[in-house]
Chains A and B, each alone.
Chain A
Amino acid sequence: MARMASVEADIRPRRKGRPSVAETAAPSLVDILNLVRTNRATTRQEIERQSELGRAVVADRLGTLAELGLVDESELGTATGGRAPRLVRFAADRGRILVATLDQTALGVGIADLAGSLLMEHHEASELTQPVPALAERLVTLFRWILERQANPPLYGISISVPGAVPDGGEVFFQRTTPAVLPGWDSFPLVETLAAAFDAPVWLRSSVETMTMGELHAGAGEGNRTMLFVKVGKRIGAGLASNGELFRGAQGAVGLIGSVPVTAGERSGTLEAMAGSDHIAQEGRLAAERGLSAVLADHLRRGGPVTALEVAQAAQMGDAAAIDILSQSGRLIGQVVATLANMLNPELIVLSGSIAQTNDILLASTREAIYGACHPLVSRDLQIVRSQMGSSSGLVGAAIVAAEGLFAPSLLRDWIMAGRPQAHPLFQQLKAQIVDRRTFEGNAVRPPDM
């Protein structure tokens, strides 16, 4: 944040004399907009009470916000004696956020309003190992396609969920460079390409972070403040929402619990290797070959591949060997998560990933291990549920990340008077840098039009 402050000081000219109206109005505009946006105040009276601003100031600021199209006062509330109060609503339709999830084997794209509600989504198979320029080109093509279909409100931001920790120290500001999250990203300016192609600021977060935010705002976590999110797949990772916000740690690398060493019987290894979907699939194949699982052996005989999903399905059908495999995975995951729960005291633990979402046994054995190992005070009201959002949680969460970033007071105060986030001086600076680099490099990076 210190680095950020110095950058801001660099770009803002030093002002002398009386502050301008824009300067004095901006802080109260920011406060009022965020009270309305987060539903903490829904009438003028509530805004006056919560913001401790006078009636005239509130009326003036709401007038400005209405002119900017960010609040809407057309709806009437319920009268509690006398005239019905006008409801002050956040105009979530004022702008749009483009979102994407990059996965090892799939690419998801969508568009959301400023409250993070998805309006459209599309997912397709895509190999993350393909060259970054090809990936960027596909992303740009799909984003253009979505904008063609949903063109009306202006674009406010872009937010991408990536399969790796985003090394950016806990700030709400958009990316101004492309971090080396994946191999090849250090040599291709993905963030700059998107910012230039769509004229909008770009946010990046790890997939477990966006899924945590999606689950907290639109899934099982709705209404909770402290939630632990556990994604079980080939990799096992966790995300933490603390006091309603994403906890990002020192390097944005929270929840890499897949590398915790665990022991089961005489074997030991990392949690991922001992309980992840690759392990489940491998154990399932062994059980089929050794004749321990009738269901999986039959599946194998018919030429079907035995993946973790087949093992989960066999367990659901009552196959004893498959039940054993998933129970063992669940127990190991539960042991590790119980340690986290004892430390963090969450209200809710959400288990996500296709196996956890389609199988009751993994959830049951994880629950058993967590409840068994938790302090009575921690487990007293603790709920452990499976996610029901699928890959959508990543898209919804990415939209929430951008919305929270756009309206964070530290960012909002520098664009609110212009009514569009593109007016933020740091974004203008980023665009100027992109133009400079293009001039220097001879316009090498230009995705084709659709």
Chain B
Amino acid sequence: MAITGLGPHGERASAPERVLLLPEDMARARASGFRVAVVLHTMASDWAKQQLSGIVGTLGNCGIAVIEVVDCAFTPDVQIEALDRLIGEAPDAIISLPVANSKVAAAHARVAAAGIKLVLLDNVPTGLLPGKDYFSLVSADNFGLGKIAAEGLSPHVPRGAEVGVLGYDADFFATNEREIAFVKWMQVNRPDVNLRIRRFSTLADAGLTTHALLAERPDLAGLFVVWDTPAIAAIEVLRALDRLIPMVTADLGRDAAIALAAHEPLVAIAAQQPFRQGETAASIVVSTLLGRLPPAWIALPGLAVTSANVVECFQTVWRMPAPREVLQKLSLVRTTT
């Protein structure tokens, strides 16, 4: 699938194949004894774990030691402290997912200034520039994810319907792009639909925001939530109110896959490919350490998932069988144990 979005500075997307590693690259990397650290926003989600296993596995294939993996727990101060400490460790490269924008920009700039090669995941703090402050960003085609979600919801909402958009009230590249793309697709292709945009600032607020929106718009006929964890919180609210309206989201988490298999209330999901993204980030690091200039932005296309293909997509994304509840809902297993 083609990449529909542009990078954080307007870059055209490059395909992951641009940093494909050949056997001779791996041999050279193995002979060099490189050390790499990984700084993630969280380690609690399936998404983060899959991405990490893609990173660590690929680096392992190239004989590169992962010296530390930091869980920032979505907290800028933790990330700043970790980056400053890692600068002292002087690894050859750091892979980081910036948890905020301006707050963590200076700490990331210090990494580059210390001569450590920086590769970013998912987000670029405003003001940091590729080639100067970091080497490359790898992310999903988040604009494409928003578009896939809109296309998935459209057939399920009647003409003139009220549709809610639950965005994330933080300046974060990935969620901004999804929201903009969803709204744009609807405005272009479904001008009859009235969009009601609300944003939550913490995960804990996602349910409350949904509740407030439903109280304000009892006629709401569809809902888009920018990623799956708040979407699950929204589903709980909908269930409690007995108002299961069609919903779409991004990321094929376990609970989201189950709700999608039931076709209620989730009708479509735009899925990222975290394992492949992790592999790609590691390949960028290896290419960079071998002295090649990587593209400023590498994007992975999203997958359009519905109940019809949720099983195979789950396997593609997570490299493991779909949850038993999914298989049961789709009558792919006979026993109910």
With A354-B12, A390-B296, A392-B9 known as contacts, the answer to whether A122 contacts B176 (CB < 8 A) is: yes
A118-158: which have CB < 8 Å to B? 118-125, 141-142, 145, 148-149
Whether B11 pairs with A120 at a CB distance below 8 angstroms is no
Chain A residues with Cβ below 8 Å from B158 are none
Chain A residues with Cβ below 8 Å from B187 are 141, 450
Cα of A272 to Cα of B14 in the assembled complex, Å: 25
Chain B residues with Cβ below 8 Å from A390 are 7, 9-11, 129-130, 296
B295 within 8 A of A: yes
Whether B293 pairs with A358 at a CB distance below 8 angstroms is yes
Whether B6 pairs with A120 at a CB distance below 8 angstroms is no
Chain B residues with Cβ below 8 Å from A124 are 5-6, 143, 180, 184
B102 partner, pick from A119, A122, A317, beta carbons under 8 A: A119
Chain B residues with Cβ below 8 Å from A121 are 8-9, 126
**Chain A 267-293, CB within 8 Å of chain B: the 1/0 string?**
000000000000000000000000000
B324 within 8 A of A: no
Cα of A219 to Cα of B133 in the assembled complex, Å: 12
Chain B residues with Cβ below 8 Å from A122 are 176-177, 180
Chain A: minimal CB distance from B321 (Å): 33
A421 within 8 A of B: no
A258 within 8 A of B: no
B183 within 8 A of A: yes
Cα of A390 to Cα of B297 in the assembled complex, Å: 11
Chain A: minimal CB distance from B264 (Å): 30
Whether B10 pairs with A391 at a CB distance below 8 angstroms is yes
Cα of A358 to Cα of B12 in the assembled complex, Å: 12
Interface residues on A, range: 20 to 34
A347-364: which have CB < 8 Å to B? 354, 357-358, 360
Chain A: minimal CB distance from B104 (Å): 15
A313 within 8 A of B: yes
B10 partner, pick from A123, A219, A358, beta carbons under 8 A: A123
A178 within 8 A of B: no
**Chain A 298-323, CB within 8 Å of chain B: the 1/0 string?**
00000000000100010011000000
Cα of A122 to Cα of B173 in the assembled complex, Å: 8
With A124-B143, A389-B129 known as contacts, the answer to whether A316 contacts B180 (CB < 8 A) is: no
With A106-B6, A122-B177, A123-B6 known as contacts, the answer to whether A392 contacts B129 (CB < 8 A) is: yes
A373-399: which have CB < 8 Å to B? 386, 388-392
Cα of A124 to Cα of B188 in the assembled complex, Å: 15
A125 partner, pick from B4, B127, B197, beta carbons under 8 A: B4
A108 partner, pick from B10, B12, B171, B176, beta carbons under 8 A: B10
Chain B residues with Cβ below 8 Å from A354 are 11-12
**Chain A 83-126, CB within 8 Å of chain B: the 1/0 string?**
00000000000000000010100101000000001111111110
B292 within 8 A of A: yes
B1-59: which have CB < 8 Å to A? 4-12, 18
Query: What is the chain A residue whose CB lies nearest that of B8?
Result: A121
Interface residues on B, range: 20 to 34
Chain B residues with Cβ below 8 Å from A392 are 9-10, 129
Whether B292 pairs with A316 at a CB distance below 8 angstroms is yes
Chain A: minimal CB distance from B192 (Å): 13
Chain B: minimal CB distance from A86 (Å): 25
Chain A residues with Cβ below 8 Å from B9 are 121, 123, 389-392
Chain B residues with Cβ below 8 Å from A149 are 169, 171
Chain A: minimal CB distance from B4 (Å): 7
Chain A residues with Cβ below 8 Å from B8 are 121, 123
Query: What is the chain A residue whose CB lies nearest that of B6?
Result: A123
Cα of A117 to Cα of B101 in the assembled complex, Å: 13
Chain A residues with Cβ below 8 Å from B180 are 122, 124, 142, 145
Cα of A370 to Cα of B220 in the assembled complex, Å: 64
Whether A117 pairs with B127 at a CB distance below 8 angstroms is yes
Chain A residues with Cβ below 8 Å from B197 are 148, 450
Chain B residues with Cβ below 8 Å from A313 are 18
Cα of A373 to Cα of B148 in the assembled complex, Å: 54
Cα of A149 to Cα of B197 in the assembled complex, Å: 12
Whether A357 pairs with B126 at a CB distance below 8 angstroms is no
B131 within 8 A of A: yes
Chain A residues with Cβ below 8 Å from B18 are 313
Chain A: minimal CB distance from B141 (Å): 12
B334 within 8 A of A: no
Chain A: minimal CB distance from B128 (Å): 10
Query: What is the chain A residue whose CB lies nearest that of B7?
Result: A123
B85 within 8 A of A: no
Chain A: minimal CB distance from B21 (Å): 13
Chain A: minimal CB distance from B49 (Å): 30
Chain A residues with Cβ below 8 Å from B101 are 120
Whether A388 pairs with B10 at a CB distance below 8 angstroms is no
Chain B residues with Cβ below 8 Å from A142 are 180
11 further interface pairs, Cβ-Cβ under 8 Å (given A101-B10, A386-B131): A108-B10, A120-B126, A121-B8, A121-B126, A125-B5, A145-B180, A313-B18, A354-B12, A391-B10, A450-B187, A450-B197
11 A-B residue pairs with Cβ-Cβ distance under 8 Å, sorted by A, are: A101-B10, A120-B171, A123-B10, A125-B6, A354-B11, A358-B296, A390-B9, A390-B10, A390-B129, A390-B296, A391-B11
Q: Which 7 A-B pairs have the closest CB atoms?
A: A391-B10, A123-B10, A390-B9, A123-B6, A388-B132, A388-B131, A392-B9
Tell me the A residues contacting B by CB distance below 8 Å: 101, 103, 106, 108, 117-125, 141-142, 145, 148-149, 219, 309, 313, 316-317, 354, 357-358, 360, 386, 388-392, 450
